[in-house]
Amino acid sequence: MNGIDRDLTEAAGGLPLGGPSAEALRALAARAAQEGLVDVAYAQVDSPLGPLTVAGTGRGLVRVAYPERRLDDVLADLAGAVSPRVLEAPERLDPIRRELDEYFEGRLRRFSEPIDWSLTRGFFRRVLEATARIGYGEVRTYGEVAARAGSPRAVRAAGNGLGSNPLPVVVPCHRVVRTGGGLGGYTGGIERKEFLLSLERG
C-alpha cells in the first residue's frame, strides 16, 4: 500500500480485513475526490463488445479500452502518461457510461462528454480530432482523414494513428475505411468494426 492509499484508507475510516466493501470503496473514492487526490478515475462498462474500461480526468474522457487490454496494463499506462493518482470511481464516469449504454442501444448518435486528448499529440492527435468529426453512420477513407489532418499524403501514418486510438467507439475510428470500400484494420478486431458499422446503419 503506497502513501496515498494509506492516507485514503485512514480517511475513509479503514477497510475491513476481508477486503474492501463496495460501500467502503465508494467512501474512499468520494473522500479522495474531495481531497483532490484523484487525477484519473476509472470504471468498467458492460457492452456488446465485452467489458470496456473507461477513464477520465478533470478535463474529460481520456481512455476507452477493450477487454483484451488487461486492466492492470491500462492503469499502469495511465499512471505513467497522465498521473499516478488513479482510482476506481464509477460515479465520476456515470455520464459517459450512460452515453455508451444509449449508443449501444441505438439511441445516441453523438457523444457529448468532453475529451481529454492528453494521450495523443502532433499529427496523430489531428487525425483523431478529424475522426471525431465523422458523423454517425458515415464513413471516410484513410486518405480523407489524412487530408483533414493537414497531410494528405500521410495515409499510412493516419492509419497508424487510428490504430493507436486511445478512445475507440467514442472517437469513431471504425468509421474510417479503405478507398474502394474495404474495411481496413481496427484496433479492436475487424468483427467489432463490422458490428459498430452495422449498428450505425440500423
**Cα-to-chain-centroid distance, residue 137:** 20
The set of residues, in sequence order, having a beta carbon less than 8 Å from that of 199 and lying 6+ positions away, is 104, 106
Distance from chain centroid for Cα 115: 9
Give the active site residues: 173
Question: What secondary structure, in 3-state letters, does 53-99 show?
Answer: EEEEECCEEEEEECCCCCHHHHHHHHHHHCCCCEEECHHHHHHHHHH
Instruction: Please answer whether residues 201 and 106 qualify as being in contact, where contact means their C-beta atoms are separated by less than 8 angstroms.
Output: no
The grid cell for 123 is 499529427
